[in-house]
Amino acid sequence: MTTVMTRRADFPLLVRQPGLHYLDSAATAQKPAVVLDAEREFYETSYANPHRGAYALSARATECYHDARTGVARFFGLRDAACLIFTRGTTESLNLVATAWGMHNVRPGDEIVVTRLEHHANFVPWQQLALARGAAFRIVELTPDGRVDIDLLRHAVTPRTKVVAVAHVSNALGTITPLGEVAAIARSVGALVVVDGAQSAPHMAVDIEALDVDFYAFSGHKMGAPTGIGGLIGRREILEAMPPYQMGGDMIEVVGDERTSWNVLPHKFEAGTPNVGGAVALAAAVRYLTSIGMTEVRRHEQTLTAMAIERLGALPGVRLYGPDATRRSGVVSFTVDGIHAHDLATILDQEGVCVRAGHHCAQPLLRRLGVSATARASFFVYNDAADVDALVSGVRSAQTLFHGPRVVSPGTPARPATASR
Cβ(199)–Cβ(168) under 8 Å?
A: yes
Order of strands, edge to edge, in the sheet holding 111-115? 84-87, 230-234, 215-219, 192-196, 161-167, 111-115, 136-140
83 catalytic per annotation: no
Q: Which residues of 88-121 are buried (b: 16+ CB within 10 A; e: fewer)?
A: bbbbbbbbbbbbbbbeebbeeebbbbbbbbbbbb
Give the pLDDT of residue 413: 37
**What are the CA-CA distances from residue 205 to residues 18, 182, 221, 289 (Å)?**
30, 18, 17, 10
Give the pLDDT of residue 2: 42
In angstroms, the CA 281 to CA 287 distance is: 10
Give the pLDDT of residue 410: 37
Q: How many CA atoms lie within 13 A of 327 on its CB side?
A: 15
Q: Which residues contact 184 (CB under 8 A, 6 or more apart)?
A: none
Marked catalytic residue, from 64, 83, 354, 361: 361
pLDDT tens-place string over residues 330-362:
999 999 999 999 999 999 999 999 999 999 999
Give the pLDDT of residue 416: 40
Give the pLDDT of residue 53: 79
Q: Which residues contact 213 (CB under 8 A, 6 or more apart)?
A: 179, 183, 193, 194, 195
In angstroms, the CA 222 to CA 119 distance is: 15
Provide the CATH number for the domain formed by 35-290 in this structure.
Answer: 3.40.640.10
pLDDT (tens digit, 0 to 9) for every residue of the chain, 421 residues total? 344 456 999 999 999 999 999 999 999 999 999 999 999 999 999 999 998 778 999 999 999 999 999 999 999 999 999 999 999 999 999 999 999 999 999 999 999 999 999 999 999 999 999 999 999 999 999 999 999 999 999 999 999 999 999 999 999 999 999 999 999 999 999 999 999 999 999 999 999 999 999 999 999 999 999 999 999 999 999 999 999 999 999 999 999 999 999 999 999 999 999 999 999 999 999 999 999 999 999 999 999 999 999 999 999 999 999 999 999 999 999 999 999 999 999 999 999 999 999 999 999 999 999 999 999 999 999 999 999 999 999 999 999 999 988 544 333 333 444 443 3
**What are the CA-CA distances from residue 343 to residues 150, 314, 338, 347, 352 (Å)?**
36, 21, 10, 6, 14
In 3D space, the residue among 352, 392, 356, 358 whose CA is nearest the CA of residue 372 turns out to be 358
Q: Which residues contact 215 (CB under 8 A, 6 or more apart)?
A: 93, 97, 192, 193, 194, 195, 232, 233, 234, 235, 238
Give the pLDDT of residue 5: 57
Give the pLDDT of residue 190: 98
- What topology is assigned to 4-30+293-403 in CATH? Aspartate Aminotransferase, domain 1 (3.90.1150)
155 Cα distance to chain centroid: 27
Mapping DSSP onto H, E and C, the string for the chain reads CCCHHHHHHHCHHHHHCCCCEECECCCCCCCCHHHHHHHHHHHHHCCCCCCCCCCHHHHHHHHHHHHHHHHHHHHCCCCCHHHEEEECCHHHHHHHHHHHHHHHHCCCCCEEEEECCCCHHHCHHHHHHHHHHCCEEEEECECCCCCECHHHHHHHCCCCEEEEEEECECCCCCEECCHHHHHHHHHCCCCEEEEECCCCCCCCCCCHHHHCCCEEEEEHHHHCCCCCCEEEEECHHHHHHCCCCCCCHHHEEEECCCCEEECCCCHHHCCCCCCHHHHHHHHHHHHHHHHHCHHHHHHHHHHHHHHHHHHHHCCCCEEEECCCHHHECCEEEEEECCECHHHHHHHHHHCCEECEEECCCCHHHHHHHCCCCEEEEECCCCCCHHHHHHHHHHHHHHHHHHHCCCCCCCCCCCCCCCCCC
In angstroms, the CA 73 to CA 79 distance is: 7
Q: What is the value of pTM for the model shown?
A: 0.95
Domain boundaries, the chain: 4-30+293-403, 35-290
Give the pLDDT of residue 420: 39
In angstroms, the CA 321 to CA 404 distance is: 25
